[in-house]
Amino acid sequence: MFGSIIIPTIGRAALARAVESALAQASAEPFEIIVVNDGHLPLAPAAWQQARQVRVITTGGGRERSAARNAGAALAAGRYLNFLDDDDWLLPGALDTWAALARRSSAAWLYGAAQLSDDAGRVLFQFQHDLTGECLTPAMTGEWIPLQASAIAADKFRAVGGFDLSFHVAEDKDLLVRLCRLYPVAGTARPVAGILRGTWATSSDYSAMPAEVQRSRELILNQPGTFGRLWASAPTPYWRAKIARAYGISAVWNLRHGQGRRAVRRAAGAMLAGACARLDLLRPSYWRAFARHHLTPGFEPPSA
């Protein structure tokens, strides 16, 4: 089986649209849909529950989306996993787009473009990541590839341990970084998913995002061989500047948290990145990239 579409839910009304968008995939590849009810109540009866591709499982309620996603992935039969939120949707041809990528690439993370849409269905922005191959530096220094628009190799997902349950608002970014440390990515500009950016209810504390993202980066920087992987995935002065910035920010962060020895090692990493950059240091664009936080164009994090 090619794919498993995993939809965690607490029973929101938008769930029907999410499931029906998956059922509407006119794909030559076999697929399944696993709806993970993480709410405290049974799901309301719906016609989609009778579809042969759909399986509904219940967690017992309140385990949060990462645990719900992991629960669905544990039962998934597909070679690739798509994690679709219950208020988002797949666009026609999404599965075939990922399948075509899989035939051309053995990358662990396959993606298409995601469209941010408002409550009225108007497309506000379409992502253009232009990322392929080794991508640890972009992933770790701010680039965001939405889960909804991605198909992740199931064996690689399980090899890195799935979603880290200690993360509550940056779990998708953390998963991307951990996979990029070990495996390449591949993508296309074809739109495959819609993401709601209107008004919606959420229990997520997005004010914790910066701290969660930095904690994920620290875990990666602690791993042996990370500098080499970062440098291999930084083909331009812009991304090479981001490596120096990442180590510099980490040095300050560790100093503030009483990790003096680690702060010194991170400062040494920043200096090494600068030394390796060589003539890049003469470019004003390098220093502009060093000074500014990278944010995927068009994406603004939700306010708390």
Whether 84 and 227 share a structural domain: no
Query: What pLDDT, on the 0 to 100 scale, is given for residue 301?
Result: 54
Q: In the Cβ-directed half-sphere of 41, how many Cα atoms lie within 13 Å?
A: 5
- Please report whether residue 299 resides in a domain: no
Q: Do 197 and 226 sit in the same domain of this protein?
A: no
**38 and 185 co-located in one domain:** yes
Q: Are residues 142 and 35 in the same domain?
A: yes
Give the residue numbers spanning the domain of 241.
Answer: 209-291
Residues 76 and 68: their CA atoms lie apart, in Å, by 12
Query: How far is Cα 112 from Cα 105, in angstroms, rounded to an integer?
Result: 14
Cβ contacts of 239 within 8 Å, gap of 6 or more: 137, 138, 141, 233, 289
Question: d(Cα 108, Cα 138) in Å, to the nearest integer?
Answer: 16
Of the residues 208, 233, 250, the one at which a domain ends: 208
- Report d(CA 155, CA 81) in Å as an integer: 10
For residues 175 and 215, membership in a common domain is answered with no
**Residue 216 lies inside a defined structural domain of this protein:** yes
Choose the final residue of a domain: 184, 208, 232.
208
Going by pLDDT thresholds of 50, 70 and 90, the confidence category of residue 197 is confident
Dist. CA 270–CA 294, nearest whole Å? 17
Are both 109 and 126 inside the same structural domain? yes
| 93-144 residue pLDDT tens | 999 999 999 999 999 999 999 999 988 889 988 998 889 999 999 999 999 9
Structure confidence by residue, pLDDT tens digits, 221-275: 999 999 999 999 999 999 999 999 999 999 999 999 999 999 999 999 999 999 9
Same domain? 265 vs 286: yes
pLDDT band, very low/low/confident/very high, at 296 (cuts 50, 70, 90):
confident
Residue type (1 letter), 144: W
| Residue 236 and residue 283 share a domain | yes
Domain total for the chain? 2
Residues 196 and 243 in one domain: no
Q: Among positive and negative, which fits the CA dihedral 186, 280, 296, 35?
A: positive
Each residue of 22-40: pLDDT tens digit?
Answer: 999 998 889 999 999 998 8
Residue 117 maps to a domain = yes
Considering the domain architecture, whether residues 70 and 31 belong to the same structural domain is answered as: yes
Residue 268 forms part of a structural domain? yes
Residue among 49, 103, 48, 53 nearest 80 (CA): 103
User: What pLDDT, on the 0 to 100 scale, is given for residue 304?
Assistant: 39
How many CB atoms within 10 Å of residue 229? 19
Residues 11 and 33 in one domain: yes
Arithmetic mean of pLDDT, 208-216: 93
Q: Cα(191)–Cα(99) distance, rounded to whole angstroms?
A: 14
Q: Give the pLDDT of residue 130.
A: 87
Q: Last residue of some domain: 208, 235, 270? A: 208
Instruction: Please tell me the number of Cα atoms within 13 Å of 88 on its side-chain side.
Output: 26
CATH number at residue 117: 3.90.550.10
For residue 95, tell me if it sits in a domain. yes
Q: Which residue has the tokens 């794919």?
A: 3
Can you tell me the distance from the alpha carbon of 192 to that of 213, in angstroms, rounded to the nearest whole number? 26
Distances, alpha carbon 289 to alpha carbons 48, 236, 268, 286, in Å: 48, 11, 19, 5
Q: Specify whether 133 is located in the same domain as 229.
A: no
Q: Is residue 164 part of a domain?
A: yes
The answer to whether 27 and 95 are in contact (CB under 8 A) is yes
83 inside domain: yes
